[in-house]
Structure 1
Amino acid sequence: MEPNQAPKAKGKPFIIISVVAALLAVYGVFKGYHAFTHESTDNAQIESNAIPIVSRLAGYIDSIAIKDFQNVKPSEVLVQIDPREYELALSLAEADLLSAEADLSNANAQLLSTEVNKRVSQSNLDIQEVRLNKAKTDLLRDESLFKDNSITRKQLDDTRSAYETAQKQVRSNQDQLSYAQSQTGTIKAQIDKVKAQIAAKKSALENAKLRLSYTKITSPIAGKVGRTNLQPGQYVQPGQTLFTLVNNEQFWVTANFKETQLEKLKEGMEADIIIDGYPNVSVKAKIEGLSDATGARFALLPPDNATGNFVKVTQRVPVKLSIQNLAEVKPFLKTGMSVTVSVKTN
């Protein structure tokens, strides 16, 4: 039996080698076809908007309503700054406004009183002018009668005295009317000034309300809180970044392709994305736009190639891809995760 089994044993390695060679050939054909119809890069990351949460006021933290990596909703209160100082400022602004409104009411009452005095002065002037005209007529008549010796000197003097008194009374009433008119103008100017003060104090009141509202630091979007390092009683400054809020509703991919790959890339092309951390998750994407500058140009210190030691380096151009099945894969997406992008160019 041993001579008959030897040829069979010698044939097994050949079969294995043939199968392996066939698999390698198929794999080579697949990779060649894939390379011909796709452009790929592993220099890519998942992106999202990271919003710094800052304090608009100076003050001491009263309470903290969030913790690390917590999901938050829009307008949800995150941090409460001690509001007592700003509540007092609001009360003071309200009192200032009430005082200014009281001044306006008082000025309006003075204007009304002055208008009444002006009308009374005008009426008195009209009466005195009538009396003056009568006194003048009496004087002219008595002067004529005196020439005819019809009246005595005393009667003429009394008539002349009454006329002069009427003249003085008219001048006095004219002065009173002028004073009332000037008072009216003064009070109207005062009213305009108080109205301007009221407008300023209303603005101050609104500003006090606004500053009081800033003591509640709220979430501008739905997202997830990053790392926090806050404690109640901690003092914060205006403009100080407290922590970062990541928008976990919107994600996209930024892939840095070599400049030699750009010839085949166009907007709207579909792409497959493999997440390094979740290789079995299928992410579908589409090219949304290509940058008009290389990634090096966005660096803090762009390279200067105008030197004698120039070494040509293949540049990379950022390409933005929108995720098409975002609702399905969103639980697996984390900002900054590395991915591999394969764009279907054919």
Structure 2
Amino acid sequence: MDEPRRPPVTPASAGEPEELLKARKPFYKRPLLLALGALLLIVGAMVGVRYYEYAVSHEWTDNAFIDGHIIYISSKVAGHVSRVYVADNQEVAQGDLLLELDPREYTARLAQARAALQAAIAKEEAAQAQVELTQVTAEAGVQQAASGVELVRATVETARVQVAVARSRLDQARAQVETASASAAQARAQIQMGTGARFSLLPPENATGNFVKVVQRIPVKIIFDPLPDSDYLLSPGMSVVPVVQVK
């Protein structure tokens, strides 16, 4: 005997809940998901358009550095630095004390100049006394004494010239000591720019080999206007990522 056929089992006949039946609806029959997907597409398109417009109208590079200016500050005399009153990348103003020179060398020169002056004065006085002595003894031999007097007078003139030279050296040594002991910047300082400084208008590009074609890059300088805030230290040599609006 043939067994009776059973009817096919359907979700409704299996007693499945109605929520599962609704959850199995196709995607295109779910308006909430369709609206959410459309919203995401619109937002993505807007973000993409804005990014494209920004990329087209702006240029940027990560191969940039903060540059600086070379400023030479020199004193009237040269010498050894004894003290430094400034640090690297410190802001200074006109009249600030930067360095001090060791005044011992100039003090020694001043003492030598004073000693030379005293010796020249003593030599002049001795020559003058010799002239007076020669004039007294000239009565015994006028002709012989006259030549001696002229010789001694020439010696006196030479001594006077030496005194004048010694006084000039003394004044020069005093001026050097005053300059070395002044409260202004008294040494030669050099404020150097940081790494990556360029001095030529179009610096050559480094290339290896003779058959390598290197595109010439033109340097671009960006000047801070107004000056950056002093609370944020920007020193020469720092790397930056500048963004320039070209359109």
For normalisation by structure 1, the TM-score amounts to: 0.44
Structure 1 counterpart of 2:114, from 73, 94, 105:
94
1:292 paired residue number: 201
| 1:47 partnered with 2:67 | yes
| 1:24 partnered with 2:48 | yes
SS in 2 for 1:31: helix
Q: What is the deviation of 1:188? A: 3.2
1:199 paired residue number: 165
Q: What is the deviation of 1:7? A: 0.8
Q: Which amino acid aligns with 2:154?
A: K
Q: What is the deviation of 1:325? A: 0.9
2:3 paired residue number: none
CA distance in 1, matches of 2:129, 2:40: 112
For normalisation by structure 2, the TM-score amounts to: 0.57
Q: Which amino acid aligns with 1:339?
A: V
Q: What is the deviation of 1:93? A: 2.5
Is the contact between residue 66 and residue 240 of structure 2 (CA under 8 Å) also seen in structure 1? yes
CA distance in 1, matches of 2:186, 2:42: 64
Q: 1:32 to 1:71 in 2, by over 3 A?
A: closer
Structure 2 unpaired stretches of 5+: 1-18
Structure 2 counterpart of 1:9, from 23, 29, 33:
33
CA distance in 2, matches of 1:343, 1:34: 5
- How many aligned positions are there? 214
Structure 1 counterpart of 2:240, from 321, 336, 339:
339
RMSD: 5.1
Q: Which amino acid aligns with 2:63?
A: N
Q: 1:292 to 1:49 in 2, by over 3 A?
A: closer
Spell out, residue by residue over 1:267-321, the C-alpha distance to the aligned partner (whole angstroms, 9 max, x if none).
xxxxxxxxxxxxxxxxxxxxxxx9433244xxxxx76x7x6x4211223344444
Q: What is the deviation of 1:324? A: 2.5
CA distance in 1, matches of 2:222, 2:177: 41
Spell out, residue by residue over 1:172-212, the C-alpha distance to the aligned partner (whole angstroms, 9 max, x if none).
65x25xx4266336523542354146415633663586379
Is the contact between residue 291 and residue 319 of structure 1 (CA under 8 Å) also seen in structure 2? no
1:284 paired residue number: none
2:149 paired residue number: 183
Q: 1:85 to 1:293 in 2, by over 3 A?
A: closer
Q: Which amino acid aligns with 1:292?
A: L
1:323 paired residue number: 224
Structure 1 unpaired stretches of 5+: 125-168, 222-238, 257-289, 297-301
Q: Which amino acid aligns with 1:56?
A: G
Q: 1:294 to 1:324 in 2, by over 3 A?
A: same
1:156 paired residue number: none
CA distance in 1, matches of 2:168, 2:242: 58
Q: 1:196 to 1:319 in 2, by over 3 A?
A: farther
Q: What is the deviation of 1:79? A: 5.7
Alignment of 1:1-346 (within 5 A): 6-34=30-58, 40-49=60-69, 56-57=79-80, 64=83, 66=85, 74=95, 76=97, 78=99, 81=102, 87-107=107-127, 113=132, 117=135, 173=142, 175=143, 179-180=145-146, 183-184=149-150, 186-188=152-154, 190-192=156-158, 194-196=160-162, 198-199=164-165, 202-203=168-169, 206-207=172-173, 210=176, 219=185, 246=191, 291-296=200-205, 309-326=210-227, 328-332=228-232, 333-342=234-243
CA distance in 2, matches of 1:204, 1:318: 54
Q: 1:255 to 1:314 in 2, by over 3 A?
A: farther
Q: 1:34 to 1:72 in 2, by over 3 A?
A: closer
Q: Which amino acid aligns with 1:99?
A: A
Spell out, residue by residue over 1:228-281, the C-alpha distance to the aligned partner (whole angstroms, 9 max, x if none).
xxxxxxxxxxx9xxxx8758xxx99x898xxxxxxxxxxxxxxxxxxxxxxxxx
CA distance in 1, matches of 2:197, 2:123: 67
Q: 1:77 to 1:338 in 2, by over 3 A?
A: closer
| Greater strand content | 1
CA distance in 2, matches of 1:95, 1:67: 38
CA distance in 2, matches of 1:291, 1:33: 30
Percent identity of paired positions between Structure 1 and Structure 2: 23
Q: Which amino acid aligns with 1:76?
A: L
Q: Which amino acid aligns with 2:110?
A: L
| Greater helix content | 1
